[in-house]
Amino acid sequence: MSESLSAVVVAAGRSQRMGFDKLLTPLGGRPLLLHTLERIMATEVPEEIILVIRPGSQLEMEATVSPLRDKGNIRLVEGGAQRQDSVQAGLMAMSDSSEFVMVHDAARPFITKELIDTVLEAAKLSDAAVCGAPCSDTLKEVGEDGLVTQTIDRSRLWSVQTPQIFRTKLLREAYQAVVRTGRIFTDDTAVVEKMGHPVRIVLYHGVNLKVTTPADWSLAEALLRAGEGEGSPGQLLRKQLHDMNNHLTPLLGYAYLLTNEFPEDSRPKKFAKNIQSAAERCQTTTASIQKYVRELFPRKGE
């Protein structure tokens, strides 16, 4: 029996760097929040979604998520002043039967099933896991006067994202310990690390943009637009890959039939096997390209 997973989606921020309520503003025709929730629900991995909202926003949030009510189990709870207060509220509201909990930023609308599955498998090994990528930019420490004080060695530094997945018992215990210390944390893995528990990080190459600034908004809108509509890059790539698969399927069948027509170790037999092997490699490559197309040009329901 597979372990159950609950999702805590943090949507209690005030969008201060954006300048407007980004989660409720239409992005590509639908509120940003709906993009995130729809993609999580489409994975069919979490058994429930606890949406942690800003106090006082209950009515507008209810109206926003109402189109999803018949598609899955979504519950709204009010968060707190700090992110950790909001995550704690989500943990308290989720089912006690869930063995794992996934914490995800509501402003990351490009989440995929592959990403959730990858982080979940890592969490099963270490009880705590997060996706991320090695830092590619040069990092500087800067003083209050705006002058660089030192260049930081980036060779062992990673930027972390969400989803972050934990054994439910572990994360609840970690947050209870945080309350006693009075410290403020902005990252859930840091709360677990404070307990001395190791966190496993997994590399993710796909698009996992967090929409924080106006520039992020424009990029997310472009990615969504590129994947939708007749003649869009996403649609054209999907059509080409579909056509390629339609050609590869009979090719594999013909190659298989040919290999059975010739005696073993004969030259025609080897030739037919080479054709079959090449077609199989093409099919594997096509599947990989399809995966990247879904990540780069997401569309509703994927």
For 226-247, what is the mean pLDDT?
Answer: 65
In angstroms, the CA 218 to CA 214 distance is: 6
| pLDDT band, very low/low/confident/very high, at 300 (cuts 50, 70, 90) | low
pLDDT at position 288 = 80
pLDDT greater than 80 at residue 292: no
CA 223, 224, 227, 233: dihedral to nearest 10 degrees?
-40
Give the whole-number percent of the chain exceeding pLDDT 70: 92
Q: How far apart are the first and last CA of the chain?
A: 26
Residue pLDDT, tens place only, 139-176: 899 999 999 999 998 888 999 999 999 999 999 999 98
CA 10 to chain CA centroid, nearest Å: 14
Tell the burial category of 264 from Cβ atoms under 10 Å away from its Cβ (0-12, 13-18, 19+): exposed
| pLDDT band, very low/low/confident/very high, at 228 (cuts 50, 70, 90) | low
For residue 142, CA distances in Å to 32, 148, 150, 151, 282 come to 34, 4, 7, 9, 50
| pLDDT band, very low/low/confident/very high, at 229 (cuts 50, 70, 90) | very low
pLDDT at position 299 = 59
Tell the burial category of 143 from Cβ atoms under 10 Å away from its Cβ (0-12, 13-18, 19+): exposed
pLDDT at position 1 = 43
In angstroms, the CA 96 to CA 90 distance is: 12
Residue pLDDT, tens place only, 171-205: 999 998 887 787 888 889 999 999 899 999 999 87
For 258-283, what is the mean pLDDT?
Answer: 84
DSSP for 169-234, please give it. Answer: HHHHHHHHHHHHHT---S-HHHHHHHTT---EEEE--S------SHHHHHHHHHHHHHTSSTT-HH
Residue pLDDT, tens place only, 103-136: 999 999 999 898 999 999 999 999 999 999 998 8
Contacts of 110 (CB under 8 A, 6+ apart): 39, 206, 207, 208, 209, 220, 223, 295, 298
